Amino acid sequence: MPNTQVRKYLVYVIAVLAACFATAALVLRADPDVARSTTTHAANPDPITRGRYLVKTTGCNDCHTPTYAQRAGEVDEAQWLIGDSVGWQGPWGTTYAINLRRFVQTVTREQWLQVARQPARPPMPWFALRDMTDDDLTAIYQYIRSLGPAGTHAPAYVPPGEPVHTPVVRFPIQPTTEEAKERTAARS
């Protein structure tokens, strides 16, 4: 695929993932029974198994595991959550999905619960983690720790306008309210 098609495809994939996270958050907020049934997961009370399930179904691998989305999830579990050198670039600068396997080895469960719920730079859906129960976040933490450390550290955050030396996915810059009004008026 030419470069433009790849960019368009990646923007599409990101938009779909964002819509999925937003829909899940709305459903869980609107119906407490759904939230309870998703968190109890009675068939698998083991926290590590539950954590693996959550990592696999909530999209953690999509960014934190190289080539996971492109390979439709067909990535050896030994390579899960090792971070990625593909940057996510927008008005906030360029962010990278960190190596969660190395990170969780350096924090306690309590620190994980606190960090997981703090606002983060895009495209990290921190608000989805904020809305998870302590049990769910603890299960994710225990699962990731059970994998052990692997891989290298992802590149560091790059502020807006600074040069980046890795591949990036560029988010389109949203027009300001005034620009949007001007475009609408020009179409009329």
Query: How much is the pLDDT for 6?
Result: 46
Secondary structure of residue 93 in the 3-state scheme = strand
> Mean pLDDT throughout 29-44?
49
Note the pLDDT of residue 5: 52
Residue 122 has a CB neighbour count (10 Å cut-off) of 16
Residue 83: CB atoms within 10 Å? 23
| Nearest residue to 98 (alpha-carbon basis) of 113, 75, 115 | 115
> DSSP string of 141-183?
HHHHHHH---S-PPPPPB-TTS---S-EEEPPPPPPHHHHHHH
Sign, CA dihedral 55-59-63-66, equals positive
61-72 pLDDT, tens digit per residue, is 999 999 999 999
Short-list 97, 96, 82, 85, CA closest to 148: 82
Please state the domain extents for the chain: 3-173
pLDDT score of 149: 97
Per-residue pLDDT tens for 158-182? 999 999 999 999 998 777 777 767 7
List the one residue out of 146, 156, 154, 144 whose CA is nearest residue 112. Answer: 144
Q: For residue 22, what pLDDT is reported?
A: 45
